[in-house]
């Protein structure tokens, strides 16, 4: 996983016009513009709670979240005590892979 700064976020866009002396500034494109076509200006080393890793797709992120939810459910149901950590993650991955998708 990337360092959780704006520069490594899927929502951040570098903006040469606003950069100062090589210090990268950009725009956060997470939400709608503040005013007509005015996006919030942020530096590359900022961070926030809306950060999303730009090295993976939103589909990959969604699958990873599903796997985590299944793993938590397995452990919460008390089944985790019967399996190793690795086995729990493998079961969670299999469940996530078998989850019905809306496109089928």
What's the CA gap between 35 and 7, in Å, rounded? Answer: 23
Structure confidence by residue, pLDDT tens digits, 86-100: 999 999 999 998 877
Residue ranges in the chain whose pLDDT is less than 50: none
What's the CA gap between 1 and 25, in Å, rounded? Answer: 22
Q: What is the mean pLDDT of the chain?
A: 84
Distances (CA, A) of 22 to 13, 15, 40, 46, 102: 15, 11, 19, 16, 45
CA 78 to chain centre: 28
What's the CA gap between 6 and 8, in Å, rounded? Answer: 5
Q: Which pTM value belongs to this model?
A: 0.56
């Amino acid at each position: 996983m990337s360092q959780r700064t704006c520069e490594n976020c899927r929502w951040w866009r570098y903006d040469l016009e606003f950069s100062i002396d090589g210090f990268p500034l950009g725009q956060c494109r997470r939400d709608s513009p503040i005013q007509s076509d005015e996006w919030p200006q942020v530096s590359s080393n900022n961070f926030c709670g809306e950060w999303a890793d730009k090295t993976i797709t939103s589909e990959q992120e969604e699958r990873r979240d599903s796997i985590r939810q299944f793993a938590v459910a397995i452990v919460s149901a008390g089944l985790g005590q019967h399996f190793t950590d690795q086995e729990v993650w493998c079961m969670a991955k299999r469940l996530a892979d078998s989850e019905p998708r809306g496109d089928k």
